[in-house]
Amino acid sequence: MKVSVGQFNPGGDVTANLATMRRLSASAAQEGSKLILFPEEAMFSVGQVDGDFSAAVDAQWTTFVQGLSLIAADAGIAVIAGGYESSGEPRPYNTLVAVGDDGEILGTYRKLHLYDAFSYQESTRIKPGDKGVTVVEVGGFKVGIMTCYDIRFPELARALAISGVDLICVSAAWFKGEHKVDHWETLLKARAIENTCWVAAAGTSSSHCIGHSAILDPMGIPIDFLNEEAEGIATADVTHRRVEEVREFLPVLSNRRFDSNPVVTPAG
Q: Which residue numbers are catalytic? A: 40, 111, 148
Distance between start and end Cα atoms, the chain = 52
DSSP classification of residue 178 = T
Establish how many alpha carbons lie within 13 A of residue 105's alpha carbon, considering only the half-sphere containing its beta carbon: 11
b/e sequence 9-26, b meaning 16+ C-beta within 10 Å: bbbeebeebbebbbbbbe
CA distances from 242 to 49, 59, 166, 200, 219 (A): 42, 43, 10, 15, 9
Give the list of residues 6+ apart from residue 261 with CB closer than 8 angstroms, or none.
none
Tell me the residue type at 234.
A
Strands (E), the chain: 2-7, 33-37, 78-85, 93-99, 105-110, 116-117, 120-121, 134-138, 141-147, 167-172, 198-203, 214-216, 222-225, 232-237
**Closest of 152, 153, 157, 149 to residue 173, by C-alpha:** 149
Distance (Å, whole) CA 182 – CA 10: 23
In 85-179, alpha helices (H): 154-162
Give the list of residues 6+ apart from residue 268 with CB closer than 8 angstroms, or none.
none
